[in-house]
Amino acid sequence: MFQLKQDLELTAEHQGLVIGLFEKPEKFSGNLASLDQAFEGQLTKLVKSGDISAKLKSISKVHTLGKIGPKRIWIIGLGKEKEFTFDKLRQAFGKLFKELKNNKQEETAIYLDTFLSEKHDASDAAYALSEAFALATYQFEGYRQKSNEPEKRLETLTVYSQAAAEEVEASLSIGYAFGKGTNSARTLVNTPGNMLTATDMANYATELAAKYNFELEILDKAEIEKLGMGAFLAVNQGSAEPPKMIVLKYQGKDEWKDVIGLVGKGITFDTGGYSIKTKAGIVGMKTDMGGAAAVLGAMEILGEIRPEQNVVAVIPSTDNMISGNAFKPDDVITSMNGKTIEVLNTDAEGRLVLADAVTYAKHHGANYIVDVATLTGGVITALGVNTTGAMTNHEPLYEQVLEAAMEAGEQMWQLPLFESEKERVRNSKVADLNNSPGSEGHAIVAGAFIGEFAEETPWVHLDIAGTATSTKEYDLGPAGATGVMTRTLALFVERFEPIEK
Ligand code: BES
Ligand code: MN
Ligand code: ZN
pLDDT tens, residue by residue, 269-323:
999 999 999 999 999 999 999 999 999 999 999 999 999 999 999 999 999 999 9
CA pair distance 353, 235, nearest whole angstrom: 7
Closest CA to 134 of 88, 98, 103, 170: 98
Other Cβ atoms closer than 10 A to 472: 7
Q: What phi and psi, each to the nearest 5 degrees, are found at residue 146?
A: -75, -15
β-bridge mates for residue 111, sequence order: 160
Task: Summarize the confidence of residues 191-209 as an average pLDDT.
Answer: 98
Q: What is the pLDDT of residue 32?
A: 84
Is the pLDDT at 30 greater than 80? The verdict is no
What integer is the mean pLDDT of 453-481? 98
Residue from 102, 340, 82 nearest 228 by CA = 340
62 Cα: distance to centroid of ligand 3 (angstroms):
49
Q: What is the DSSP letter of 248?
A: E
**Rounded to the nearest 5°, which phi and psi values hold at 188?**
-60, -45
- Annotate 249-269 with DSSP letters as a single string: EEE-SSSS-SEEEEEE-EEEE
C-alpha–C-alpha distance, residues 426 and 428, integer Å: 6
Judge whether residue 188 has pLDDT over 90. Answer: yes
For residue 352, report the distance from its CA to the centre of ligand 1, in Å.
13
Confidence of residue 243 (pLDDT cuts 50, 70, 90): very high
3-class secondary-structure state, position 45: helix
Nearest CA to ligand 1 atom 3: 376
Q: In the chain, what are the domains?
A: 2-137 (3.40.220.10), 193-495 (3.40.630.10)
Instruction: Answer whether residue 148 shows pLDDT above 70.
Output: no
Q: Average pLDDT in the 329-350 region?
A: 98
Q: What is the pLDDT of residue 152?
A: 81
What mean pLDDT is predicted for residues 387-410?
Answer: 98
The bridge status of strand 469-470 relative to strand 480-481 is antiparallel
Write out the H or E segment, with its range, that includes residue 194.
none
Nearest CA to ligand 1 atom 5: 377
**Contacts for 147 with CB less than 8 Å, ≥ 6 apart:** 141
**HSE toward the beta carbon, residue 455, CA cutoff 13 A:** 13
**Residue 66 CB contacts under 8 Å (≥ 6 apart), including other chains:** none
Q: If you average pLDDT over residues 124-146, what whole number do you get?
A: 95
Active site residue 277: yes
- Best residue among 318, 375, 379, 439 to mutate for probing ligand 1, ranked by most atoms within 8 Å of CB: 375
Which entry of 265, 351, 424, 487 is annotated as an active-site residue? 351
Inform me whether the pLDDT recorded for 248 exceeds 60.
yes
Task: Identify the CA nearest to 488 among candidates 472, 471, 473, 468.
Answer: 468
- pLDDT for 150: 59
CA distance 95 to 55: 13
Percentage of the chain beyond pLDDT 90 is 95
Least confident of 4-8, 278-282, 293-297, 428-432: 4-8
CA-to-CA distance for 7 and 18, rounded, in angstroms?
15
User: What local confidence, expressed as pLDDT, does residue 302 receive?
Assistant: 98
β-partners of residue 62 are 73
Position 59 scores a pLDDT of: 98
Query: Could you give the CA distance from residue 254 to residue 237 in angstroms, rounded to a whole number?
Result: 40
Query: Do the Cβ atoms of 287 and 481 come closer than 8 Å?
Result: yes
105 phi, psi to nearest 5 deg: -80, 135
Distance between Cα 394 and ligand 2 center (Å): 27
Report which ligand 1 atom has the smallest distance to the Cα of 287: 8
pLDDT band with cut points at 50, 70 and 90 for residue 146: confident
Type of residue found at 483:
G
Question: Which ranges in 311-368 belong to alpha helices (H)?
Answer: 350-363
What is the rounded average pLDDT for all residues in the chain?
96
What residue owns the CA closest to ligand 1's atom 17? 348
Q: Is the pLDDT of residue 29 over 90?
A: no
351: annotated active-site residue: yes
